[in-house]
Amino acid sequence: MRNKLSFPTDEAVMKSVYLALREASKKWTMPIRNWGMILSQF
């Protein structure tokens, strides 16, 4: 049985997570302290 990876590289995973978080954060109503700093760590 062969495993197929959805993401070819670790960088692809990080980009996907970053973009998903960025989209989700647009819909949040309560501000998260230091969110800009947290997002910049990605």
Can you give the pLDDT of all 42 residues of the chain as single tens digits?
455 567 788 888 889 888 888 888 777 777 777 878 887 886
Amino acid letter, residue 10: D
**What pLDDT is stored for residue 9 in this prediction?**
86
pTM: 0.50
Query: Which has the closest alpha carbon to 38: 16, 21, 15?
Result: 21
**What pLDDT is stored for residue 3 in this prediction?**
55
Query: Which has the closest alpha carbon to 38: 28, 12, 25?
Result: 25
**What pLDDT is stored for residue 2 in this prediction?**
52
26, containing H or E segment? helix 10-27
Of how many residues is the chain composed?
42
